[in-house]
Amino acid sequence: MMNNKVGAEKMKDLGEKIKVLHLIKSLGRGGAEKLIPETALVHDQSQFEFHCLYFYHQKNNIVEELERAGISVQLIPSGNLGLFFQVKKVREFIESHRINIIHAHLPWAGILARSVGKFIKTPIVYTEHNTWDRYNKLSYWGNRISFKEQDVAIAVSNEVALSMRLNSIWSPYRRDGRMKLKVIQNGVNTEMFRRRKTEDGRQEKLGIPTNATVIGIVAVFRSQKRLWLWVDVALKVLERCPDAHFMLVGDGEWRGRIEDQIEKSGKAANFHLVGVQKNVIPYLSLMDIYLSTSEFEGLPIAMLEAMSCKVPVVATSAGGIGEVIQQYPPEQVHIS
């Protein structure tokens, strides 16, 4: 890694930008994806140039947000297994754009980056956003077997780092020495994510009474988030607090089932599914409590955004959540 550092210093002396390539399977509205533009915005772009390659196009994506953050984005269409046939294209992109650092996110992109690394000497940084036991077998074993073929591994929480250490099939050596493992907890731009007054009448438009207590979440509607449990908890709260209202910001494969569950409960008037929102700050600003029922997490970005907007969090102790919020024993929790 020393030679790479020397090379970077020479580039600075020559006035050349350090070129960083982000590799990620898709650019949906997940936490890992959102970190790419957020981190680019806090870099000095007179010294850094950012590129992003992704491989699976989703309707609700953040491509425009990456481009607004100064990142050049390119799609190479491919499925999971098809990524193994994209090694040549990615390598050619790296060589033609004179990329200095590859930064891969999540297992499939990590496997691809390590495969490319067999043919070039560009340093590889990999960020792990989740615990390994939650990946399917193919992702798990591909990640585990190839894991040592990189330079730096970043874990977004201590629990993720522990998972990486416990699941490494061999001692995690990088190509030219000891691979470095670092814990860098997820964060958000606290200057941007601030609670705001809802002056646009959004609350009234949603049918939420002005004095109602609003409990909400921002999430992709997938099984990991256990939104059926979220709705169950909401219905129990309504038994004690019938004037409470519940807001779900997001969308996904579980939306139809969640809508059916709410409709069958007979309490649909107290639930508000507002869909995917590019700007979640006005919705976080309506919330009195942020409720998360995830089965597993790395360190969820949406929850951190809520915290930055001064929304109290009630959450399952999944992944790194317990590292950033205070936990109380059940006997100390009282619901009035």
Residues 61, 101: contact at Cβ < 8 Å?
no
pTM of the predicted model as reported, rounded to 2 decimal places: 0.80
Nearest to 174 by CA among 223, 125, 230: 125
**Distance of alpha carbon 317 from alpha carbon 135, whole angstroms:** 19
**Distance of alpha carbon 30 from alpha carbon 61, whole angstroms:** 9
**Distance of alpha carbon 102 from alpha carbon 114, whole angstroms:** 10
| CA 64-87-135 angle, 5° bins | 70
**Nearest 5°: phi and psi at 205?**
-60, -35
Nearest to 27 by CA among 72, 88, 75: 75
Q: CB-side exposure of 259: number of CA atoms within 13 Å?
A: 10
Tell me whether strands 177-178 and 173-174 are parallel, antiparallel or unpaired.
antiparallel
Tens place of pLDDT per residue across the chain (336 aa):
434 444 455 455 556 899 999 999 999 888 889 899 989 998 999 999 999 999 999 888 899 999 999 999 999 999 888 888 999 999 999 999 999 999 999 999 999 999 999 999 999 999 999 888 888 899 899 988 898 889 999 999 998 998 888 887 655 444 555 468 899 998 888 888 999 876 566 777 888 998 899 999 999 999 999 999 999 999 999 999 999 999 999 998 999 999 999 999 999 999 999 999 989 999 999 999 999 999 988 889 999 999 999 999 999 988 888 888 876 555 554 544
Q: Which residues contact 272 (CB under 8 A, 6 or more apart)?
A: 206, 207, 208, 245, 246, 247, 248
**Nearest 5°: phi and psi at 305?**
-65, -40
